[in-house]
Structure 1
Amino acid sequence: MSTVLVTGGSGFVGIHVILQLLAAGDTVRTTLRRPDRQADVLTMLREGGAASPESLSFFTADLVRDDGWREAVAGCDYVLHVASPLSTTVPKDENDMIIPARDGTLRVLRAAREAGVKRVVITSSLGAIGYGHPPREQPFDETEWTNLDGADVQPYVKSKTLAERAAWDFVAREGGGLELSVINPVGIFGPVLGPDFSGSIEIVKSLLDGVMPAVPRVYFGLVDVRDVADLHLRAMTAPEAKGERFIAVSGETLSILDIAKVLRRELGPRARRVPRLQAPDWVVRLAATRVPLLRAVVPSLGNVRRSTSTKARRVLGWQARSNDEAILSTAESLIRLGLVKA
């Protein structure tokens, strides 16, 4: 069994990664920006069915500070760098996201190299691959990079691109014997274990709450968080994953209206607030002048951004749950935890 550090253990992906590592019998460490979040992590682990949380230890470390990283990685075999700044709105200053993402990644890599860690697996995003390009039918794959000059490149996408670029450059120039693998997920759905979840989950919550009378014409790929965690574990140990990046996507790209249809079809009365209509693009653009949450989606209206996980399936034997299962497990968990309107 291995000793593994998971950065950002209170986050949606981080907690599922920890669950699977504990189930595999590994000794797990995790970093939190605030030590008072330990109780929240333990609560989420219990919700997720963790049998042996005593194999988990906590360290305090922040992406924007050097303190704590050396202690967190000391004696680790692997590091899964999941932590990343997130925002549900477009920040006024893009550096509020870019600097923690890029510099935090480099802090983790330097500490891992100095500690003699074998491999670091970084959670990047399709945002580092499939943005800034003209609309097209051909799916994006791991050979491609986001064009940072594109109109649809928002600060989050830029932060993930620059952070991943910096990681590959660091390992090539200064990594020594440190190995690197990268996971590039699309929109992450799946079972929520507590109040910390991704922006993708917020979409399902908003649909169930009836926040929008009609949905914007936005498309994206889906993947279940449990499958994202599984891909991290595979990339952590597989010799074939060294120096490789892997897109994590379940199936076909869906629209928000497609997701709404799944919820209404499968949840019956519990989906009574879910909208049935798709808003014209001009209405969304007008609303975005007053609703910050919509500003980020305007450049992507109507762009069906496809991607493929062929490489992860072929190289690592990875299999993913269906889009429907990812959507429904999200909704069921939000309802069970009382995180949507009654």
Structure 2
Amino acid sequence: MKKVLVTGISGYVGLHAAAELLKNGYSVRGSVRNLSKTVELTKAIQKEIEPNGNLEYCELNLLNDEGWKEAMQGCDYVLHIASPYVAAEPKDENELIKPAIEGTQRALTFAKNAGVKRVVLTSSIVAMFGDANKSLNIKQDTWTNPNAKNMSAYVKSKTLAEKSAWNFIETQKGDNKLELVVINPGPIWGPTLSDKLSGESMNIVKNMITGKMPMLAKVATNMSDVRDIASIHVKALENKEANGQRFVVATENPYSFKEMAQILKANGNDKVSTFEGPNFLLKFMSKFNSDLKGMKPFIGNTYNADVSNTMQVFNWTPISFEKSILDTVQSVKQKLKN
């Protein structure tokens, strides 16, 4: 049985990816920052599949080398999903950028040293936004300019971490060449396996259905379902054609937050606001609101990514955006009851 190291297994994507690996006959070693939480993680994965002894854990930190060598031992592949994420703009951008880059470099370095064949890296569509401050048609070779005006720390962290990964691959020495595939999701929706509503997607939906989001930002991009992301991560491990490519895993068309709100409202969520705030007002408010500050470059724009290559290479069709959103709200309501 082939073994896969999953960094960041406790996260929204990490839990789904671990379950998908187990369903497809892989053995999983998941990294966490603290081993005390592993019992609840196993229970979360058991909602999808019984691990049957094929799930273990290790403790890793993106900012130091301790445990990385041991974590890689016996692993055939790595899903490097762990990366810091906060929607609000931090006071120091290096709070996000440093661990994102260093964690990526550690994952690649120790994987190569251990003889791992391939790493699948979780990046983001925000690493493909050009100068971000204008609408854009995104292709596989589109990159975000981290020095563009109003660029948020999170966008910089994802862009610079992915760039550092490709640089590692291009400059590696020796005959034992590590392979890399990068997954670039859009905003992620779909049911959570965790018992918590701590993720950004869950919070947005919770605030929308409880009427705590009176105003929406006018921005549209391709949206992703967590189940699609997990599925493509697993398919990317051994797909020969995937090596050396970036894949947008998202809907074929961009959707706005207003369209999302309309779906929620049409399905009985009466407290949802469909009002789009004026661009100038939201940009002005971003000076005082750390959540909005991170959104500032995107307000008023549409980012439309070509997902045809992903669909072709993996023989895949995205889950519909409506299903993603309705399954998310069902998951949120279930957690609010508990």
TM-score by length of 1: 0.93
Cα drift, residue 39 of structure 1:
2.1
- 2:120/2:237 contact within 8 Å kept: yes
- 2:87/2:154 contact within 8 Å kept: no
Counterpart check, 1:236 vs 2:234: no
* Counterpart-to-counterpart distance in 2, 1:303 and 1:27: 42
Taking the TM superposition and a 5 Å limit, the aligned residue runs for 1:188-203 are 188-194=188-194, 195=196, 198-203=199-204
* Counterpart-to-counterpart distance in 1, 2:232 and 2:277: 36
Cα drift, residue 338 of structure 1:
1.5
* Counterpart-to-counterpart distance in 2, 1:285 and 1:244: 35
Distance 1:12 1:147, change over 3 A: same
- 2:87/2:294 contact within 8 Å kept: no
* Counterpart-to-counterpart distance in 2, 1:235 and 1:29: 18
Structure 1: state its 5+ residue gaps.
none
What is the match of residue 290 of structure 1?
Answer: 288
What is the match of residue 80 of structure 2?
Answer: 81
What is the match of residue 156 of structure 1?
Answer: 154
Cα drift, residue 220 of structure 1:
2.4
- 1:131/1:153 contact within 8 Å kept: no
Q: Among the aligned pairs, what percent are the same residue?
A: 36
- 2:3/2:28 contact within 8 Å kept: yes
Structure 2: state its 5+ residue gaps.
none
Instruction: Pick the aligned partner of 1:317 from 315, 318, 321.
Output: 315
2:201 counterpart SS class: helix
- 2:133/2:297 contact within 8 Å kept: no
* Equivalences, count: 335
What is the match of residue 217 of structure 1?
Answer: 218
- 2:152/2:293 contact within 8 Å kept: no
Counterpart check, 1:9 vs 2:9: yes
- 2:197/2:203 contact within 8 Å kept: no
The more displaced of 179-188 and 202-211 is 202-211
Which amino acid counterpart does residue 283 of structure 1 have in structure 2? Answer: L
CA displacement 1:131-186 (0-9 Å, x = unmatched): 4156346x201111111222252111111111111111111212642111110111
* Counterpart-to-counterpart distance in 2, 1:34 and 1:292: 28
* Counterpart-to-counterpart distance in 1, 2:287 and 2:144: 26
Instruction: Pick the aligned partner of 1:142 from 135, 140, 143.
Output: 140
1:338 counterpart SS class: helix
Cα drift, residue 196 of structure 1:
5.9
CA displacement 1:173-211 (0-9 Å, x = unmatched): 126421111101111111112226542333222211211
CA displacement 1:209-258 (0-9 Å, x = unmatched): 21122212122221110000111111111011111111111132111111
1:54 counterpart SS class: coil
Counterpart check, 1:122 vs 2:128: no
Distance 1:53 1:125, change over 3 A: farther
1:20 counterpart SS class: helix
* Counterpart-to-counterpart distance in 2, 1:202 and 1:132: 28
TM-score by length of 2: 0.94
What is the match of residue 171 of structure 1?
Answer: 169
* Counterpart-to-counterpart distance in 1, 2:155 and 2:21: 28
What is the match of residue 40 of structure 2?
Answer: 40
Which amino acid counterpart does residue 71 of structure 1 have in structure 2? Answer: E
Which amino acid counterpart does residue 281 of structure 2 have in structure 1? Answer: V
* Counterpart-to-counterpart distance in 2, 1:295 and 1:339: 32
Cα drift, residue 53 of structure 1:
5.2
2:53 counterpart SS class: helix
- 1:22/1:53 contact within 8 Å kept: no
Distance 1:238 1:95, change over 3 A: same
